[in-house]
Amino acid sequence: MTWQLDSQRVNERLKTEKKESRFASEGIPSLIQVGNSDKPVRNDSTEILTQEHLLIEIPSDINALQNKKPELAVEWREATRWAFTRAIAAGYLVEEFYRSAREDQTVGAYVLSRRKKLADFL
């Protein structure tokens, strides 16, 4: 995977005062969601791959999770591999990453978009 950190889109995003994602409150469906006890919950629905945007969530501090619960970290690695492979094969590209608070936990979320070209991200 490659992140174009010096692209115009990224530079414009870094310059904005409001750092919240424009996706944070849209109710976008997740292929993987952070569930109880930080376990990954997969959404196997075939309908989800017809949406314009998808989320792939991860625990907010995945690095700490790797140190404290290595077995759970492996579950996350397998779940996110499944989700990214499925989404990319269906024509999605990763557009953004943000963190959000939900009830009693903070999660990270990759936002994937469909119907965009790679050139739109450069």
Domains in the chain: boundaries: 27-121
pTM comes to: 0.79
Q: What would the two tokens of residue 27 be? A: 């109710």
**Type of residue numbered 66:** Q
- Asked if residues 60 and 74 have their Cβ atoms less than 8 Å apart, the reply is no
Calpha distance 121→74 (Å, rounded): 30
Tens digits of pLDDT across the chain (122 residues): 566 677 776 676 666 655 555 555 568 999 999 998 889 999 988 889 999 999 999 998 888 889 999 999 999 999 999 999 999 999 999 888 888 887 777 899 999 998 666 565 55
Contacts of 42 (CB under 8 A, 6+ apart): 31, 32, 79, 82, 83
